[in-house]
Amino acid sequence: MQHKFKLTPLGNPAIEPAAPLPAFGNRELIGVELFDNASRIIESASDVSPIAAQMQAKVQDISRAAKNPEQRKVLDELIKNRVIPEFLKYAAMKSAVFKDHWLGSLGTGNYASNYLMRTSANLMGLWANTNDEVIDFVGSKDSNGEPLNGANKYVLEFSSKNRPEAVVDAFWSMTLVDLPDYRVVPNPLNRFNFNNYSGLKSEPDGSLKILISSKPNASVPESNWLPAPDGKPFSLTIRTYVPKDIVKRGEWFPPALRKIQP
């Protein structure tokens, strides 16, 4: 979709170069290098957080300390060996409401002084909507608490009364992405998500079964198969757009993913 946008300048605008920042990805988050151009980065965009000034002052303090070779080494080890591991654990387990091995984005939207939650949203989704707009449920483990992996087959089963379309006033979707990059997974069907309009087949009792695996399985209609990366970790995100109060109150969560036999 991004490649379909085209920007045409009107005149000859003066564009200030972006603040220099070393490239990094989700597999290896940035270390002390983040603070090398702190002033330029802070000046490049305003921050509406109520504690932005205090946080920026702390960043400047760390930036000055990082110029000392001995302190720089200590800071880099602290970031990589303590800060990043603790942050990743928080992002996966504590940044929202955790139930049935799903992380529900209840209470997100305006992070105020909660920079841990704000950074978690940046890691997993770039930003987050207010709960009146959408509530997300992120799953990366099955019903046994084991990480999701395309080497296995999983079934997500909604009862007839618990289907996602019953708890939204707009629509719902479910997207599969790889880990740790959070990118959609190429597959022969070019099928990357399900939603209200996917033509999913219901069971005779009105329930809905969705298969998540690298290959189809006779126990679930092929129309309900969402391809997963073979032998690789992945994550699922269910989005409830304009969720009903039952979702906002935290009383509705997707069922736990059940691993089935090959």
CA angle 184, 185, 186 (to 5 degrees): 120
The edge-to-edge listing of strands for the beta sheet with 134-139 is 97-99, 102-104, 134-139, 234-241, 172-178, 193-195
Percentage of the chain exceeding pLDDT 70: 97
Give the span between the Cα atoms of 123 and 181, in whole angstroms: 9
Q: Which of 176, 179, 201 shows the shortest CA–CA distance to 190? A: 176
**Residue 21, exposed/middle/buried by CB under 10 A (0-12, 13-18, 19+)?**
middle
- pLDDT tens readout for residues 74-87: 999 999 999 999 99
Please name each of the domains of the chain with its CATH number: 31-93 (no CATH), 98-260 (2.60.120.600)
Q: Phi, psi (5° rounding) for residue 234?
A: -150, 170
Q: Which of 174, 197, 48 shows the shortest CA–CA distance to 110? A: 48
Give the span between the Cα atoms of 165 and 193, in whole angstroms: 15
Per-residue model confidence (pLDDT) at position 93: 76
Q: Are residues 169 and 153 in contact, defined by beta-carbon separation less than 8 angstroms?
A: no
- pLDDT tens readout for residues 207-223: 999 999 999 999 999 99
According to DSSP, the residues that pair with 210 across neighbouring strands are: 156
Stretches where the chain sits below pLDDT 50 are none
Percentage of the chain exceeding pLDDT 90: 65
Query: In the predicted model, what is the mean pLDDT of the chain?
Result: 90
